[in-house]
Structure 1
Amino acid sequence: MLNKIFIRAYFQTVKAVRFTFDEIQNCSSNLNAKIEEAYGSHGLGLAIVSGIPNYSKMRLELLPLAQKLAIQPKEYLKSLERPEAFHSKGWSCGVEQFKGKFDKSKGSFYNNPNYDTPHDLGKEYEHLIKKGSLIRLDNVWPNRIPELEGAFKNLGRLMVDTGALLSYHIDKYIYSKCNTYEMGKLYRYIRSGDSHVGRLLHYFDGPNTDEWCGWHNDHSALTALTCPIYMHNDKIVDYTDKEGGLLAKNRYAEIMKVGMDPDCLAFQIGETAQIVSGGIVEATPHCVVKSDETVRRQLNRNTFAVFMGPLFNEVLNVPKGIDKNKALNKPAYNIPSLLGRWDENMTFLEYSANSFKAYS
C-alpha cells in the first residue's frame, strides 16, 4: 500500500511536457527537442496535449457513464463480460492480477472505438490467431445505457486522431537517432491498426487498503489518457487529488506524481513503441493510488484510456543494427519483465496474448 507518509516522502508533482494541438497538427514543425524531453532517455515517457477541439465536451459526456455502468446489477454486468477474449471486450472486474492478487478496486469497460467488427486477417493468419490464443470479437454495448456507445466512439476516435498526429513527430525523433528505423512506423500503426482498445474506468470508493491500480507498463504502442473526474454518488465533484492519482516512474525509477489539467490529454509510450524503436523511446511505468482524502470524502474516480497498437500480424523487431536487449525494461522499474513476453520476429498478436496472460 502507498500510504500518506510514503507519498509525501518519496515523490514530487511534476508537470509533463506540453504540446498544443496546433503544433502537432503542423507536419513541418520540428518538435524533436520537446519529444526528447518527454520521451527520451531522461524523460518521463509521458506528455500532454492541450487545445484539442471538442475534447472537453466529449470528456464530460463520457466519463460520468463509467459510474452509471458500474452500478448496474451484477447479473447484467456479467452478461457484458467476454472472458474468451481475455476481457479485452466488454465489462471486466476482478480478473487482473497485481502482486499476485486479483484487482477488485475498479471496473473496466473495453471496446474498439474505431471498429465494431475486427478486420478479417485472412486464412493465412489463422495460425497466428490460434498460436496467440486470442479470439477477436465484435464490440459489445450495454443496451441499458444507449448513450454510452456514441460517447465512447466519439471521444475514442478523437483520442486516436490526436495520437496519430503526435506519433508523426515521435517517428521523426526516433529516425533522427537511428536511420535504420522505418520512418512513419508509429503513425502507420495508429492510422491503420485495428487493435485499438478503449478502456472506460470506474475506480470504486472504499477503504484505503491498496493501490487503485498497481505498477505496470502498457503493452500497446501509444496510450491516450483523459484527466479523471471524481464523483460522490451521482454528482461530479470539483476536486483535484493532491496526494493520489496517477504516478509514473522516470528513467531513474524515481516516483513522480503527474500534474495534468482537465482540458488536456496525456500520451504515454507503450512497450510496442519501445520495442520497435530499440529503446530510443521507453514505456511509462505507472500506477494509480487512492489518497486518504478521496476515502474520507467517499469519492470514486472515472477516466478513459485508449491503447493504440498495430495490426495483429505486424512483426515487432528492433531496428537493424540495434541490440534487442536495449529494448527490454529496466529491472529497477519493478514491473513484469518484457523478456518472456516478447522476442524477435514475434507478431503483435502473440505478444499481446502473452501480455494479457501476464496480468490475468
Structure 2
Amino acid sequence: MERSETEEAEILELYELHYADLILLSSINASSTSPGNLDKVETMTKTIMETLGPRGPGLLAITGVPNASKLRKEFLPLARELALLDHESRKRILKENSLGSDVPLKNPDRSVSSFAMQLKYAKATELIDRKPTSEADYLLHTEDNPQEVDHTMIACHNMKLKNIGSTFKELGFCMMELGLRLAQICDRAVGDYELEQSLLESCAAKGRLIHYHSSLDGLLLKENERSKRNGKRQANIRRGQEYIISKGQKQLEGSELNLSAHDANSCGIHSNLWQQWHYDYGIFTVLTAPFFLMPSCSLITKTGDPFSASCFEECPSPTGHTSLQIYDPNKNKVLMVKAPPESFIIQVGESADIISKGKLRSTLHSVYRPSKFENLSRETFVVFLQPAWNKTFSISDYPQTKSDDEPQFRQDKCTLSHEIQRIVPQLSSRLKDGMTFAEFSRETTKQYYGGSGLQSNR
C-alpha cells in the first residue's frame, strides 16, 4: 500500500562504521591478529556486506573521521557564496583554484550549482598546511569589539573563498581514503580484490562541491541579472528584505512542523526534488552529511542586506533527515536517509555492482526538497570514485539474469515506482558484455540526458 498524505515518511538510519574500525578492518592481518579481534572483524565485515549487498540499502555512514567537523563547517557554506557571486568574480576564483563546473552557471533559473575538480590518487597523501592559528589569534585580540570581529570574520570568509581549492583537495583526499579502505574490506569479503585495483588504476577521482538553491537564491540570481542592466541594487535589497521578513520568519517559526507529507500527491509521490532519481555509475560515491543554511531575520534587520553571507546560519535539518532519499526494491518504497551531521556517507555505484558480480548493490536515489521551507538551502561535497575509463566489464558470469537484475516495480500507474521506472533507464539497456567503463558512462549519460534521454528536459 502506498503512503497517504497523513502517514509519516519512513526513515532509514544508516549503519554507522567508526573510522577506527574502518582502519582496523582495512588493515587486518589474519596471521598477526588475536582471535578476539578476528571475531570482531568477521562480525563487522559481515554486517558491512549485508548493508551494501543485495538485501541491504546499499549505503552506510562513516563516523569519527579526524578533523572532519572543522573542515565541513568551514568548507560547505562556501558552496552558496561561490554559487551566488557575480559571474566575473566567480570565474576568476574558479580559474585560480583549478575548479570547473558541469552546470550552466549563467542560467539564473538553475536549482543547483556545482564546482568540480579532478583529485589525483598520487597526491592524496599530501597534507595541506592550513595554519588555523592565525585566524584564532586574530579573534582573541578582537573578541571584546563586536564590530572588529565582524570585519575579521568577513576577511576570513573572503580568504577561505579565495583559497577554496586547498580545502577542496584536503577534504577530497580524506574522502578518497575512506572509499579506498572500504574497497579493501569489500575486496576481502568478495575474494576477488578487484575494486581497490580498479580505483587505483583510474588515477583520479572527481570531487564536486554542490549548492542546492533556495527560493531566495533564485530571487537573488534574477535580481542580480536585472541590476546589471539598471543598477538598482538598493531596490533589490529592499525587495529581498521584504521577501525574507514576510516568508522567512514563518519558516523559522514553523521548523518543528511535521513535513513528512507536505510534498506528497494523492499517490504519496514526492515530486519536489532538487535532484531527479538516478543511479551513480561509478564504484563508490562518498558524500559529506549535508549542511543546511537558513537566513536569520534578526541579522538581516541588523545589516539591512538579506543577501549577505553573514546573514545565513547553519540550521538542523527541518525534516529530520539528510534530504537524500533512496528507493528500496526489497521494500518497494522510498526511504529518507538519516545520518549523523558530521559523518560521511558512502553509497554503492553500478560499477561496484557489476565488478562484485552482484555482491554489492547500487543505490537508486534522489535529493528531496522540502517545499515548506523555501529559504532553506543545502550544501554538500561529493567525491565520485570510478574505475579507469578502459576498464572492461564482463557480465557473462553475473549470477543473475538481466531481467532479475532490475528493481521489481509494481505495475500500478499511481505509484512512485512506476514514475521511477519511467525516467530511470534500466541497467540492461545501458550495459553490454565487453563494454569499457568509458562506453558504459557515455551510454548511461546519453540515456539519462542526451537527445531523447528521459531526464533531458527535467
Superposed pair shares fold, TM > 0.5: yes
Secondary structure in 2 matching 1:37: helix
Asked if the contact 2:357/2:398 (under 8 Å) is kept, the reply is: no
Shift in CA distance, 71/39, structure 1 to aligned 2, threshold 3 Å: same
Larger radius of gyration: 2
Which residue of the partner structure matches residue 270 of structure 1? 349
Asked if the contact 1:250/1:256 (under 8 Å) is kept, the reply is: yes
Counterpart among 86, 104, 128 of residue 110 in structure 2:
104
Question: What are structure 2's unaligned runs of at least 5 residues?
Answer: 29-40, 124-158, 217-262, 264-270, 296-308, 410-419, 450-458
Letter in 2 for 1:211: L
Asked if the contact 1:93/1:107 (under 8 Å) is kept, the reply is: yes
Deviation at 1:326, TM superposition (A): 7.3
Deviation at 1:116, TM superposition (A): 11
Report the RMSD for the aligned CA atoms in angstroms: 3.1
Letter in 1 for 2:444: S
Aligned partners of 1:354 and 1:321: how far apart in 2?
Answer: 20
CA deviation vs aligned residue, 1:209-264 (integer Å, no higher than 9, x gap): 83111111101100101111112352232222326611112232321111111121
Deviation at 1:47, TM superposition (A): 0.4
Which residue of the partner structure matches residue 300 of structure 1? 377
How many residues are paired up? 309
Higher helix share: 2
Aligned partners of 2:443 and 2:211: how far apart in 1?
Answer: 25
CA deviation vs aligned residue, 1:262-311 (integer Å, no higher than 9, x gap): 1210100000011112222111011111113422xx12110011110111
Aligned partners of 1:250 and 1:174: how far apart in 2?
Answer: 23
CA deviation vs aligned residue, 1:133-162 (integer Å, no higher than 9, x gap): xxxxxxxxxx99431111111111100001
Aligned partners of 1:241 and 1:193: how far apart in 2?
Answer: 39
CA deviation vs aligned residue, 1:98-154 (integer Å, no higher than 9, x gap): xxxxx932111121122799xxxxxxxxxxxxxxxxxxxxxxxxx994311111111
Counterpart among 229, 232, 252 of residue 294 in structure 2:
232
Asked if the contact 2:201/2:388 (under 8 Å) is kept, the reply is: yes
Question: What are structure 1's unaligned runs of at least 5 residues?
Answer: 83-88, 96-102, 118-142, 176-182
Which residue of the partner structure matches residue 214 of structure 1? 276
Aligned partners of 2:403 and 2:385: how far apart in 1?
Answer: 22
Secondary structure in 2 matching 1:91: coil
CA deviation vs aligned residue, 1:302-358 (integer Å, no higher than 9, x gap): 001111011111112247463562784325362222223221111111112222223
Secondary structure in 1 matching 2:429: coil
Counterpart among 281, 286, 293 of residue 365 in structure 2:
286
Summarize the alignment of residues 20-59 of structure 1 with structure 2, pairs less than 5 Å apart: 20-26=18-24, 27-28=27-28, 29-30=41-42, 31-59=44-72
Q: Does 1:247 align with 2:321?
A: no
What is the TM-score with the length of structure 1 in the denominator? 0.76
Counterpart among 196, 202, 206 of residue 205 in structure 2:
196
Aligned partners of 2:342 and 2:348: how far apart in 1?
Answer: 20
Shift in CA distance, 77/147, structure 1 to aligned 2, threshold 3 Å: closer
Aligned partners of 1:277 and 1:105: how far apart in 2?
Answer: 35
Shift in CA distance, 155/144, structure 1 to aligned 2, threshold 3 Å: closer
Asked if the contact 2:281/2:349 (under 8 Å) is kept, the reply is: yes
CA deviation vs aligned residue, 1:10-29 (integer Å, no higher than 9, x gap): 73112111111111212323
Asked if the contact 1:42/1:250 (under 8 Å) is kept, the reply is: no
Secondary structure in 2 matching 1:92: coil
Which residue of the partner structure matches residue 311 of structure 1? 388
Q: Does 1:184 align with 2:193?
A: yes
What is the TM-score with the length of structure 2 in the denominator? 0.61
Aligned partners of 1:166 and 1:41: how far apart in 2?
Answer: 17
Secondary structure in 1 matching 2:7: helix
Aligned partners of 1:81 and 1:357: how far apart in 2?
Answer: 28
Which residue of the partner structure matches residue 113 of structure 1? 119
Q: Does 1:256 align with 2:262?
A: no
Deviates more, 1:339-348 or 1:281-290: 339-348
Asked if the contact 1:277/1:319 (under 8 Å) is kept, the reply is: no
Letter in 2 for 1:316: F
Counterpart among 434, 437, 441 of residue 352 in structure 1:
441
Aligned partners of 1:68 and 1:153: how far apart in 2?
Answer: 18
Shift in CA distance, 157/319, structure 1 to aligned 2, threshold 3 Å: farther
Which residue of the partner structure matches residue 11 of structure 2? 13
Which residue of the partner structure matches residue 165 of structure 1? 181
Higher strand share: 1
